[in-house]
Amino acid sequence: MVVGDVTTGTDVLIIGAGPGGYVAAIRAGQLDLDVTLVEKEAYGGTCLNHGCIPSKALISATDVAHDASEAEAMGIHADPAVDLSAMVGWKDEIVDQLTGGVEKLCKANGVNLVEGRAEFAGENTVRVAHSGEGQGSESIEFEHAIVATGSRPIEVPNFEFDGEHIISSRDALALDEVPESLVVVGAGYIGMELSTVFAKLGTDVTIVEMLDSALPAYEDDVARVVKSRAEEFGIDFHFGEAASEWEESGGGITVMTENEDGEIAEFGAEKALVAVGREPVTDTLNLDAVGLEPSEGGFLDTDDRARTDVEHVFAVGDVAGEPMLAHKGMKEGEVATEVIAGEPAALDYQSVPAAVFTDPEIGTVGMTESEAEEAGFSPVVGEMPMQASGRALTLGESEGFVRVVADDDAGFILGAQIVAPEASEMIAEFGLAIEMGATLEDVAATIHTHPTLGEAVMEAVENAQGKAIHTLNR
């Protein structure tokens, strides 16, 4: 690419190099399309740089320290010293390795990489402002465009992020010292994951949530297991409290909340982490120039081929709507590129897993029992408590259960909910079962390795059939 007033062209122009964008770019290269990928900050997007990967690195590291300090029952007595700065440095090395790998993979597949901020300048043109003083800008003409600009943390009114007193999840993952106390605004998956990290590091954590429960996107009995465990870590919950304002106080801050009766409560802490969700980044794209209008929430509506209302413009990842999950965005990126290349590709969302990396973890896929009923099925449910799992007991992590939902008539597996150690890994078996149209009998007839956590999947399925061995049948 020539920087300046020269206009260049490409078959496929992708804006944003997060999971959806870089996967789309690599797939386009594999399909021999001329592809240009524009990224304004760092390859890998939020997920690799400031979200999925760094948070899981810190979760793993804090688990090592916490588990060692709590292993007296195993005959282990330890009091690990934690150097958060060194831990964050280790996390950054992992991030650098992965983002560097993404860049190399893109180049190896013939992707043209352009650094800068892109916005539409016409139906088939974007203007890219290059980062750095005096770097100028360039125009790129395209036949097809894929919008993959991701999302950003939502700011609560009166709680603008300053990186010091009011921090975002991105800020929290880059702290070099463990805060003595922390008010977390929001008990969704981000707030719960990071609250657990800091509680295990010794921080006094208070969560304020305007709704009446933690993890409101999940079923009550699933969320209840995680909340109960979080309370064991010393996390203090306050529900029905909406954060209204804050002020500096005594070297820290005081967060004020208000309930539905107008009553005010105050919570003191060193910092406040605001984690009330994420919003799509579409307001920087000059969408009018290409004839697109986002929804009220800022999303771009798409069809089952990731195509927007403008036929030659596609949207993938967080900008394309819920669920805002990296793996969903990756699949959308593949499909969008394959459609552009003329391949018979389409999206199928019936088996999109979700995971929450709390302690214990949560993994879900497909329908819940109530959703299956609403869809017209006659569901049958099977469960296996982790307290009956030999492997869970040998890990010292026996909270939770595995639950499967199936159609009682045909036996097809419709969904699953797991709250257990390694639930994020275990849920994949159910995802495959749903995708391939497997029945309860298919999974029950599959011999599972003993002793493993995965046996609980088989036992839950057998429980739905009324023939489980290691738990009482319903």
Could you list the active site residues? 450
From the CB of residue 348, how many other CB atoms can be counted at a distance below 10 Å?
10
Residue from 191, 181, 201 nearest 87 by CA: 201
Neighbouring residues of 237: CB distance < 8 A, sequence distance ≥ 6: 187, 207, 209, 214, 227, 230, 231
Angle of the 220-232 helix axis to the 189-200 helix axis, nearest 10: 20
* Residues in the chain, overall count: 474
From the CB of residue 147, how many other CB atoms can be counted at a distance below 10 Å?
32
Neighbouring residues of 373: CB distance < 8 A, sequence distance ≥ 6: 379
DSSP-derived letter for residue 319 is G
Residue from 382, 169, 350, 396 nearest 275 by CA: 169
Dist. CA 285–CA 299, nearest whole Å: 12
Dist. CA 297–CA 320, nearest whole Å: 11
Neighbouring residues of 97: CB distance < 8 A, sequence distance ≥ 6: none
Contact 63, 361 (CB under 8 A): no
Structure tokens at 307: 């195509």
Give the CB-side neighbour count of residue 293, counting CA atoms within 13 A: 1
